[in-house]
Structure 1
Amino acid sequence: MAKTGKPTTEAQVLKYFQQLDHPLAEVAEALRKVILAADPTIGEHIKWNSPAFYYTGPMKAFDPKEYKRDLVVFNLHKKDAVLLVFPTGAKVNDPSGILEGTFPDGRKTAKFTHMDEVKKQEKDLQTVVKAWLALVEK
């Protein structure tokens, strides 16, 4: 707990996963670990009612609506897949093709339906995360 009596962001995320009632909860938890292991500057919190990951280091000033600090957000609305939404994913060079979609707002997604996909694409996901971090305006 933080000094304010509110749970820390990590505690909020852990509570979210403890209470997660989703057929692919194990997949979501594995993806969380992969993302956090990619770089020590990645933090996590609950944003848009879902686990989300962001860059924790110093940055140049920017409009918060540009989502420059936001790396990826879980979308767990479908029961047959875990969707990772990268709000600014279109800016990332992704030779692996793990990022999909052509959204006008510049987001990209990565879809996982079972643990084998997580294991098979772990390195590609971490490469995308690192490529995104390299674009952060520090």
Structure 2
Amino acid sequence: MPPESGSEVDLWFDDLEHPLTDAALRLRTAILGVSPSIVESIKWKAPNFATTDDFATFSLRRPNAVQVILHTGAKPKPEHPEIVIDDPAGLAKRLDRNRFVVTITSDQQAAVAEPAFITLVRSWVDQLD
């Protein structure tokens, strides 16, 4: 699903001054395309994605990287079954039991990684509920 024009996330991206804005926009579109139930907002001063709860948040603090943190919500959920991801491209690094980070360091990497990133996000979303 393409982003809704004029949304708060669009406005956030309009103001963004980051060398990898195009990569971030590509990842945003990829996430939104995984399921029509995914909604986006600005949370923690960055784009955030949710279905019934938050599951992915961008981090653009580093000028040389776009990071997507995959999680199970704002607070850890010890009762949530461990998420097993489909990541044959090795994009994700485990941070915690149900928390991973995907780091993209160039527009070219974002383009090449997009199909694997979509598979990874779909795998993640399928295990949330």
Alignment TM class, shorter chain as reference: 0.7 to 0.9
What are the ranges of 5 or more consecutive residues in structure 2 without an aligned counterpart? 73-81
Does the C-alpha gap of structure 1 residues 51 and 135 become closer, same or farther in structure 2, counting only changes over 3 Å? Answer: same
Q: Residue 35 of structure 1 contacts residue 126 of structure 1 at CA under 8 Å; is this kept in 2?
A: yes
Q: Which residue matches 1:26?
A: 22
Aligned equivalents of 1:95 and 1:105: distance in 2?
16
RMSD between superposed Cα atoms in Å: 1.9
Q: Indicate whether 1:80 and 2:76 are aligned.
A: no
Does the C-alpha gap of structure 1 residues 133 and 120 become closer, same or farther in structure 2, counting only changes over 3 Å? Answer: same
Q: Percent identity among equivalent residues?
A: 30
**Which structure is larger by alpha-carbon Rg, 1 or 2?**
1
Report the residue type matching 1:132 in the other structure: W
- Quote how far apart the aligned CAs of 1:111 are: 0.6
- Quote how far apart the aligned CAs of 1:94 are: 2.6
Aligned equivalents of 2:28 and 2:62: distance in 1?
18
Which has the larger share of helix?
1
Q: Indicate whether 1:121 and 2:113 are aligned.
A: yes
TM-score normalised by length of structure 1: 0.75
Q: Which runs of 4 or more aligned residues in structure 1 lie more than 4 Å from their structure 2 counterparts after TM superposition?
A: none
User: Which whole-Å deviations, capped at 9, do the CAs of 1:7-61 have from their partners, x for residues lacking one?
Assistant: x9x61101000000111111111111111112211110011110011115xxxxx
Number of corresponding residues? 115
What are the ranges of 5 or more consecutive residues in structure 1 without an aligned counterpart? 1-7, 57-68
